[in-house]
């Protein structure tokens, strides 16, 4: 339920109303816009006298929220939200580029890639230390050693860092080394893991599940936010369909839908979506046109010998070319690299 407050409502009147609601056992979330203040209510509505709330002198109108996700809902937070990750900002008016290898292979490799992607405008270094792979015989990641290499690369280049976490243990380890946590597609509905990252104060990138609907995805974000962590960005990385020409099917319409339904920032990953490096640039351009707040692009110093996802990774020259070609699109979208 949402309470739309009357224009120029006083702080005393607002605080009095919020106090009454919270005393009844509900949680409130206040969103102050330039003209309108909104109070979102989360909890058992039977505990409050709705008639009294509607008649309160500070309340203009009451709007029910039928969707099961509340905190992630744009009705609760009409203005687009954003947050800082180290020295970069993810959100309105910016275009955040997250780049790096699918998997951290060595300290030397990661430092080499970090220098290259920073030179082209990336501000967040991505790298997998924990790799949930389809086959148990595939490279599973360097785990805490990989996290240490991420920290070293961050200290040398100044880049923020993001790494996927797959368990509560991984969350505890990553918290010590990186700046942002990633929940991968295979863990989007790992609710216990979502609760763990919700307990942290670290920014989170939540990837869409392989076959997840948008409502399921937003409810997964709700699991994180209800734990107290509101610094969540959503990442469209392709969904599983009948098509086999690409690794997955990149659902760019999801960006448009999300912009209507949620205030959370939206990142697009054309690398994982297609699995083909030649498709990364055109789909990155399309993602910008659809309103994405950032891109995740895989870059490797030697894609032909990468331990994970080589066919979709760009080499340094290819990444430089893509970044050059994306800049006019970023400008046309009235955004700037952050």
**pLDDT tens per residue across span 128-142:** 998 666 677 666 678
* Least confident stretch, 8-17, 121-130, 226-235, 327-336: 8-17
Residue 83 pLDDT: 98
pLDDT tens figures, 132-175: 666 776 666 788 999 999 999 999 999 999 999 999 999 999 99
Compute the average pLDDT of residues 226-251.
96
pLDDT category at 183 given cuts 50, 70, 90 is very high
pLDDT score of 133: 61
User: 131 exposed, middle or buried (CB, 10 Å; 0-12, 13-18, 19+)?
Assistant: buried
Asked if 301 contacts 276 with a C-beta cutoff of 8 angstroms, the reply is: no
Helices (H), 8-48: 11-23
Q: Give the pairing of strands 59-63 and 83-85.
A: unpaired
What does the pLDDT average to over 261-275?
A: 97
Mean pLDDT computed over 312-334 = 98
From the CB of residue 54, how many other CB atoms can be counted at a distance below 10 Å?
Answer: 12
pLDDT at 322 exceeding the cut of 70: yes
- The DSSP secondary-structure symbol of 208 reads P
What mean pLDDT is predicted for residues 257-284?
A: 98
Read off the pLDDT of residues 187-199 as tens digits, 9 standing for 90 and up.
Answer: 999 999 999 999 9
- pTM listed for this prediction: 0.92
| pLDDT-derived band at 325, boundaries 50, 70, 90 | very high
- What is the reported pLDDT for 96? 98
Per-residue pLDDT, averaged over 50-63, amounts to 89
- Provide the pLDDT for residue 85: 98
Q: What is the pLDDT of residue 50?
A: 86
pLDDT recorded at residue 163: 96
Mean pLDDT of the chain: 94
Mean pLDDT value across residues 100-120? 96
Q: For 280-304, how does the pLDDT look when each residue is reduced to its tens digit (9 = 90+)?
A: 999 999 999 999 999 999 999 999 9
Half-sphere exposure at residue 135, Cβ-oriented, CA atoms within 13 angstroms: 4
CA distances from 127 to 142, 146, 175, 290, 298 (A): 11, 8, 15, 26, 9
CA 95 – CA 90 distance, rounded (Å)? 7
Q: What share of the chain is helix, strand, coil (3-state, %, to 5)?
A: 40, 20, 40
> What is the DSSP secondary-structure string of 78-131?
-SPP-EEETTEEESTTEEEEEEE-SB---HHHHHHHHHHHHHTT--EEE-BSS-
- 285: DSSP letter: H
Taking only Cα atoms into account, the Rg of the chain, rounded to an integer number of angstroms, comes to: 21
Predicted confidence at residue 199, as pLDDT, reads 97
Write out pLDDT tens, residues 199-212: 999 999 999 999 99
Query: What's the CA gap between 253 and 194, in Å, rounded?
Result: 25
Note the pLDDT of residue 137: 63
* pLDDT over 90 at 99, yes or no: yes
Q: What is the mean pLDDT of residues 326-330?
A: 98
Instruction: Return the half-sphere exposure (C-beta side, CA atoms, 13 A cut-off) of residue 162.
Output: 32
Q: What is the reported pLDDT for 177?
A: 97
Task: Retrieve residue 248's tokens.
Answer: 């997955």
Sign of CA dihedral 297, 273, 257, 67: negative
Phi/psi of residue 103, nearest 5 degrees: -130, 140
Task: Look at residue 8 and tell me whether its pLDDT is greater than 90.
Answer: no
- The full set of domains in the chain, from first to last, is 2-63 (3.30.70.1140), 83-337 (3.20.20.70)
Per the CB < 8 A criterion, the answer to whether 247 and 276 are in contact is yes
User: Measured between alpha carbons, how far is 246 from 283 in angstroms, rounded to an integer?
Assistant: 12
DSSP letters of 254-277?
HHHHHHHHB-S-EEE-HHHHHS-G
Give pLDDT, residue 107: 95
In this predicted structure, what is the pLDDT of residue 52?
87
Is the predicted pLDDT of residue 34 greater than 90, yes or no? no
Nearest to 337 by CA among 150, 10, 126, 94: 94
């Amino acid at each position: 339920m949402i309470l739309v407050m009357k224009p120029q409502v006083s702080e005393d009147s607002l605080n009095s109303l919020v106090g009454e609601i919270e005393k009844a056992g509900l949680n409130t979330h206040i969103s102050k816009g330039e003209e309108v203040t909104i109070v979102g209510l989360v909890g058992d509505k039977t505990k409050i006298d709705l008639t009294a709330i509607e008649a309160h002198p500070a309340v203009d109108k009451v709007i029910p929220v039928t969707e099961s996700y509340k905190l992630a809902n744009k009705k609760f937070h009409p203005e687009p939200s954003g947050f800082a990750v180290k020295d970069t900002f993810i959100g309105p008016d910016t275009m955040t580029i997250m780049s790096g290898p699918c998997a951290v292979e060595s300290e030397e490799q990661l430092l080499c890639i970090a220098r290259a992607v920073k030179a082209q405008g990336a501000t967040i270094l991505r790298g997998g230390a924990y790799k949930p792979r389809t086959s148990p015989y595939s490279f599973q990641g360097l785990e805490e050693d990989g996290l240490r290499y991420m920290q070293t690369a961050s200290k040398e280049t100044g880049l923020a860092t993001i790494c996927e976490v797959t368990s509560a243990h991984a969350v505890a380890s990553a918290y010590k080394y990186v700046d942002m946590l990633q929940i991968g597609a295979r863990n989007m509905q790992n609710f216990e893991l979502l609760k763990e990252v919700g307990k942290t104060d670290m920014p989170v990138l939540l990837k869409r599940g392989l076959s997840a609907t948008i409502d399921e995805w937003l409810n997964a974000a709700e699991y994180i936010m209800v734990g107290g962590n509101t610094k969540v960005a959503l990442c469209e990385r392709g969904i599983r369909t009948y098509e086999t020409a690409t690794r997955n099917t990149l659902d760019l319409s999801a960006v448009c839908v999300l912009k209507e339904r949620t205030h959370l920032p939206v990142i697009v990953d054309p690398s994982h979506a297609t699995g083909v490096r030649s498709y990364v640039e055109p789909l990155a351009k399309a993602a910008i046109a659809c309103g994405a707040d950032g891109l995740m692009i895989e870059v490797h110093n030697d894609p032909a010998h990468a331990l994970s996802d080589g066919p979709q990774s760009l080499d340094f020259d290819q990444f430089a070319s893509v970044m050059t070609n994306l800049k006019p699109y970023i400008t046309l979208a009235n955004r700037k690299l952050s």
